[in-house]
Structure 1
Amino acid sequence: MAKKVVATLREGKQDGRAYSKVIKMVKSPKTGAYIFDERMVPNEAVKDFFKN
């Protein structure tokens, strides 16, 4: 029974696997303290997120 459930989950949409949660530490211009910028981006755009 469990094998059948796992097989159906893999065949379905894989939208969740197409995205990654990325966290970048950015210095705040107002206070000078560091803040964390968290976003869900597509796997193809991860490198572009960190370049900016």
Structure 2
Amino acid sequence: MAKKVVATLKTVENAKNWAKVIRAVKSEKTGAYTFREEMVLLDKVQDYLATGNK
């Protein structure tokens, strides 16, 4: 599925303004880590990482 997102963004003119952010999220229930991947604007990466699990 991630390949479709990347392929779609390559056709857009401002695709270079996006970054793929991968964050490890710890489950409160089991204590196991899962990974959440999202596409974020380069300007907003630091804000996204500072917000926590939203």
TM over 0.5: yes
**Gapped runs of 5+ residues in structure 2?**
1-11
- For 1:20-39, what per-residue CA distance to the aligned partner results, in whole angstroms no more than 9, with x for missing partners? 00111110122110011110
Q: State the number of aligned residues.
A: 40
Distance 1:49 1:37 in 2: 12
**Gapped runs of 5+ residues in structure 1?**
1-12
Is 2:10 the partner of 1:18? Answer: no
Matches within 5 A, 1:1-52: 14-52=13-51
Report the identity percentage: 43
Partner of 1:44, secondary structure, is: helix
State the superposition RMSD in angstroms: 1.3
Amino acid paired to 2:16: R
Distance 2:37 2:13 in 1: 22
